[in-house]
Amino acid sequence: MEDVMKDRVEQLVDFIMKKCLWQFHSRTWDRERQNECILTKTMQILCEEPVEKETSADRCYWVDAVYLSDSFMRRYTWLGTMDKDEIKLLMQGVKDRIDYLTIKGSLNEELNDPHY
């Protein structure tokens, strides 16, 4: 089961890396905020939970989350067979992997440049 989850995480990460530009902000804090907000809202949509849309930033993240959740549901039919706890675990794995690829494992030293 663990191998299946890892494979599914990689499928969603691959989609994000190929189809989305939001993960390429120029500063670490931007990437952290984007990853957290967009992927949390995507998880909430997939789990049919309420999504906060009070501020302009919330609405911006929500639009990206709607695109992701719609794309994921169309492309990866196995999502429809997962319960909410499994989806939450999956999306945490996606966030962890995206954080690694775009922040923690990035060789881009400009991400943490205080003068940038």
Model confidence pTM above 0.85: yes
Q: Tokens 């929500």 identify what position?
A: 62
17-31, 41-55, 65-79: least confident range = 17-31
Q: How many residues does the chain have?
A: 116
pLDDT in tens, 77-116: 999 999 999 999 999 999 999 999 988 877 677 776 666 6
Averaged pLDDT for residues 50-71: 97
The DSSP code for 115 is T
The ranges assigned to domains in the chain are 31-107
